[in-house]
């Protein structure tokens, strides 16, 4: 029954571009992209509670891979190359950083995104003699949306499977107490690395799939730190530890930020920071957890009144 509902819902979402104009399809592309980013981010950071700000590093690498290879390889091979580069980069980063925790991990991942941007900028300026690249692919916005929708569905399916597997249980134990997890026989490094690589590969593919939208790509566009902060806020708002939490956080926040950025372009970053603080302090466990608490309180009050 659940599979049938999921297939019908996916088919309805896939049909949306036929009922929207170009602006509406652009919104669908952005929405599908951020839903996938938030879900893949929460797949690792939700159970482990490792707050990563490296999202845009992998996102930008995916976009730049398409910019570099789009004229040399067929599009499917370009996506495979992007996934491979993202996975390799995630392995190298994971092996060197996943032993960190708390604020140290946050700072390192934020610095990683800036380091990758600066390295690519230096390479383009000093080696290739140019700062940007053009992407010539015969892809319309609806084609990009369908790819992101398929990737988002696969990400949700993978996240659901992980939650029911021994790997998901191990991650939750690690998130609760790494010392207990280590004494329980869980291989901390390997478990965290597997999920970090899976999450980063999906994020890289989101950047690769969205790259043709810009036509012209340069570091300041695809390595915008706003991508990392928006992804974190969306996942936390809905509830990073819940399967559907990132989806419920991404949809309203994306529409809100689109409205704010159009009407307050000079103050958008300030509003973004205030939103981040509000989510962390007012809804630390996300919207779904808050709704469950209210529902439980209402049931408790009802039982109390019935008992009286």
Least confident of 4-18, 67-81, 244-258, 294-308: 294-308
User: What average pLDDT score do residues 18-37 get?
Assistant: 92
Question: Exposed, middle or buried, 116 (CB in 10 Å: 0-12/13-18/19+)?
Answer: buried
What 3-state class would DSSP assign to 50? coil
Structural fold of domain 2-307: ABC transporter involved in vitamin B12 uptake, BtuC (1.10.3470)
CB atoms within 10 A of CB 176: 12
Contacts of 228 by beta carbon, 8 Å cutoff, 6+ apart:
53, 54, 55, 56, 110, 113
In terms of pTM, does the model score above 0.75? yes
Residue with tokens 């790819």: 147
User: What average pLDDT score do residues 130-138 get?
Assistant: 84
pLDDT band at 263 (very low <50, low <70, confident <90, very high): confident
pLDDT per residue as tens digits for the range 75-94? 999 999 999 999 999 999 88
Highest mean pLDDT among 1-5, 131-135, 287-291: 131-135
Highest mean pLDDT among 158-162, 168-172, 173-177, 294-298: 158-162
pLDDT at 284: 61
User: What average pLDDT score do residues 234-241 get?
Assistant: 84
Tell me the average pLDDT of the chain: 84
């Amino acid at each position: 029954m659940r599979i049938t509902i999921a297939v019908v819902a996916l088919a309805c979402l896939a049909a949306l571009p036929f009922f929207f104009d170009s602006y509406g399809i652009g919104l669908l592309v952005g929405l599908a992209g951020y839903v996938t980013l938030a879900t893949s981010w929460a797949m690792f950071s939700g159970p482990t509670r490792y707050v990563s700000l490296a999202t845009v590093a992998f996102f930008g690498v995916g976009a730049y891979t398409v910019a570099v290879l789009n004229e040399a390889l067929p599009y499917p091979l370009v996506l495979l190359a992007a996934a491979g580069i993202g996975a390799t980069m995630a392995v190298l980063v994971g092996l060197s950083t996943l032993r960190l925790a708390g604020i140290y991990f946050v700072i390192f991942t934020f610095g990683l995104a800036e380091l990758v941007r600066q390295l690519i900028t230096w390479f383009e300026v000093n080696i290739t003699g140019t700062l940007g690249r053009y992407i010539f692919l015969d892809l319309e916005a609806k084609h990009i949306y369908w790819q992101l929708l398929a990737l988002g569905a696969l990400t949700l399916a993978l996240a659901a499977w992980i939650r029911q597997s021994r790997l998901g249980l191990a991650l939750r134990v690690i998130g609760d107490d790494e010392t207990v997890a280590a004494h329980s026989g869980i291989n901390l490094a390997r478990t965290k690395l597997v999920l970090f690589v899976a999450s980063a590969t999906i994020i890289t593919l989101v950047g690769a799939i969205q790259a043709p939208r810009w036509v012209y790509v340069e570091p300041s566009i695809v390595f915008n730190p706003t991508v990392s902060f928006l992804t974190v806020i969306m996942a936390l708002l809905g509830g990073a530890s819940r399967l559907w939490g990132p989806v419920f956080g991404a949809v309203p926040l994306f529409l809100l930020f689109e409205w704010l950025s159009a009407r307050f372009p000079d103050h958008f970053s300030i509003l973004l920071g205030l939103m981040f603080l509000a989510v962390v302090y007012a809804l630390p466990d996300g919207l779904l957890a808050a709704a469950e608490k209210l529902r439980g309180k209402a049931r408790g009050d009802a039982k109390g009144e019935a008992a009286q």
